[in-house]
Amino acid sequence: MSKIPADLKYTEEHEWVRIEDGVVVVGITDHAQSALGDVVFLELPPVGRKLLKGKAFGVVESVKAVSDLYAPVDGDVSEVNNLIVDAPEGLNKDPYGAAWLLKLKPANAKDVDALLDAAGYTALLAKIAK
Amino acid sequence: MTLKRTPLYDCHVAAGAKMVDFGGFEMPLKYTSETTEHMAVRTGVGVFDVSHMGEVFIEGQGAQAALQRLVTNDVARIKDGQAMYAGLLNEKAGFVDDVIVYRFSAERFLVCVNAGNQDKDFIWMRAVVAASALRCTVRNEGPQWSQLAVQGPRAVDVVAGLCGDSVRAIEGYHFVQGAFGAARGIVARTGYTGEDGFELYVKNADAPALWDAVVAAGAVPCGLACRDTLRLEAGMCLYGNDIDDDTTPLEANLSWIVKLEGRPPFIGMEALQAQKAQGPQRLLRGLVMVERGIARHGYDVVDEAGKKIGVVTSGTQAPFVNKAIAFAYLDRAHSDVSSSVFVLIRDKPVKAAVQKLPFYKRSA
């Protein structure tokens, strides 16, 4: 079973978000890293880039697969985790911690409320497994 | 279409494998991590279920002549107990399949074919034999046989532990008929990883016990994901990715499996002779990414000016050589080793160096 921390919000594209001092931290879920397999490449946008909810903002590649990353909410990139870009295999080890991807200054902080909570994401995964 | 399962399906599921569709079979992609499994084969020993591969027997007085008609390599050059890699071509010299031919005797051969091609190959081989006056039978025994590939520097110890020390004397691309406990089968020193290793052929009923014994002897269960990265490092083609009905052995860097002289003609020979005289217009080459990015199957290769000069057929981040590597067909004019090309990755040209295959060669 993949881990789904109760204090995070989730997207249907298997990203998680957490609000930290008014900034939205974005990562991929444990399910996503497990489904991808060993992650070997990560491409993230530069600081300052405007992201639009539901639009691709970057790419994560495993040995076998290429997947787009989708913005959870509208916002401006305020920080990028360059440590994980340089060592993307970290995504397989700590997807909810050290392997966060980027931070966004949200256009509207309330947008985060509309995302799935842990129960909603658990239900989504159960549906996928069927 | 329902997916077929090998006799080891339950072993894979019990070991926690992630299963995928490959060549019409439900096969293990990986058990733990594809990188860990890859490194186990490079540094220790791993075991793959390759029971999806097909086994076609050609038998009778005309068996050798039939194979000479069917494949690119000169089958007369192998002795009993010897095997040979070869191309099975169509009239245009495109690959129907790439195969390994095992000679039991001049009147009995086994042709190991790719999983996804086994029906097509069988129909092709039978039709070629039927159209000739050759006296031999072509029999598809694929559904009855299982195959385990035990690969890696310690593979010989594992197989010797099961079959006796005599297997240590089997040379590369040779085989014996041997015993695994109560079961009998074929012990071949062949593989698809670039390492020393064995492929063990047994009847389906004997496969699960053999798998368990090999794993108990220390072989790490390995899935198709690392089989792909291992063969890429070792510079070996995958049918459907790097070679197909429209690519020829001369284009695919496989002229070493083509014998045009001093042998009876084979299907596709004339087309190959013509291509050889002219020189192939495209050649399969290795690419090593110089800038960050991973080239994948189907990505275009362009020159400095952005003009298309080729296409990527396989690519990955290679765990052991620790580089992003790829195979690509390049226009002949751009195929010189160590020249620079660009792979279009998400519309962005990313620099790569043309390199001779393989990327990895084991030390003797």
Whole-complex ipTM: 0.86
**Whether residue B317 sits in one domain with residue B186:** no
**Cis amide bond preceding B358, omega within 30:** yes
- Bridge-based pairing state of the strands B46-49 and B220-221: parallel
Residue A65 distance to chain B (closest CA, Å):
9
Please name the residue of chain A whose CA is at the shortest distance from the CA of residue B318: A63
Domain membership of residue B46 (yes or no) is yes
Domain membership of residue B64 (yes or no) is no
Domain membership of residue A114 (yes or no) is no
pLDDT at A1 over 80: no
Note down the domain range covering B198. 9-51+143-233
Q: What is the pLDDT of residue B205?
A: 96
Domain membership of residue B116 (yes or no) is no
Domain membership of residue B193 (yes or no) is yes
* DSSP, res B174: B
CA distance B275 to B267: 14
Where helices occur in A2-113 by DSSP H, the ranges are 30-36, 82-86
Nearest to A41 among B228, B229, B294 (CB): B294
Q: CB within 8 A of B238, min separation 6: which ones?
A: B228, B231, B314
Structure tokens at B33: 């991590």
**Whether residue B153 sits in one domain with residue B225:** yes
pLDDT at B295 over 70: yes
Domain membership of residue B98 (yes or no) is no
pLDDT at A117 over 80: yes
Q: Which residues pair with B341 in a beta bridge?
A: B352
pLDDT at B243 over 90: yes
CATH code of B222's domain: 3.30.1360.120
- Residue to test with chain A: of B35, B39, B297, most A Cβ within 10 A: B35
Domain membership of residue B350 (yes or no) is yes
Contacts of A37 in chain B (CB under 8 A): 29-30, 33-34, 225
Averaged pLDDT, A101-111: 95
**Whether residue B173 sits in one domain with residue B46:** yes
User: Over the stretch B268-290, which tens digit does the pLDDT of each residue have?
Assistant: 999 999 999 999 999 999 999 99
User: Strand A66-70's sheet: what is its strand order?
Assistant: A39-43, A56-62, A66-70
Q: What is the pLDDT of residue A64?
A: 87
pLDDT at B206 over 90: yes
CA distance B139 to A63: 38
Note down the domain range covering A46. 9-108
CATH code of A14's domain: 2.40.50.100
Averaged pLDDT, B203-210: 96
Where helices occur in B224-311 by DSSP H, the ranges are 224-233, 269-278
Percent of chain B with pLDDT over 70: 99
Domain membership of residue A49 (yes or no) is yes
Domain membership of residue B333 (yes or no) is yes
The count of structural domains within chain B is 2
Percent of chain A with pLDDT over 70: 100
**Whether residue B222 sits in one domain with residue B294:** no
CATH code of B336's domain: 2.40.30.110
Q: What is the pLDDT of residue B1?
A: 63
B30 touches chain A (CB under 8 A): yes
**Whether residue B147 sits in one domain with residue B228:** yes
Domain membership of residue B132 (yes or no) is no
Averaged pLDDT, B143-165: 97
User: Over the stretch B298-352, which tens digit does the pLDDT of each residue have?
Assistant: 999 999 999 999 999 999 999 999 999 999 999 999 999 989 999 999 999 999 9
Q: What is the pLDDT of residue B217?
A: 97
Q: What is the pLDDT of residue A29?
A: 97
Percent of chain B with pLDDT over 90: 96
**Whether residue B150 sits in one domain with residue B24:** yes
Which of B200, B215, B233 terminates a domain? The answer is B233
Domain membership of residue A130 (yes or no) is no
**Whether residue B344 sits in one domain with residue B228:** no
Kindly indicate the confidence band of residue B178, based on its pLDDT and cuts at 50, 70 and 90: confident
Q: What is the pLDDT of residue B75?
A: 98
The count of structural domains within chain A is 1
Q: Which residues of chain A are at the B interface, by a Cβ-Cβ cutoff of 8 Å?
A: 37-38, 40-41, 59, 61, 63-64, 66, 89, 92
Hey, what amino acid is at B180?
F
**Whether residue B299 sits in one domain with residue B225:** no
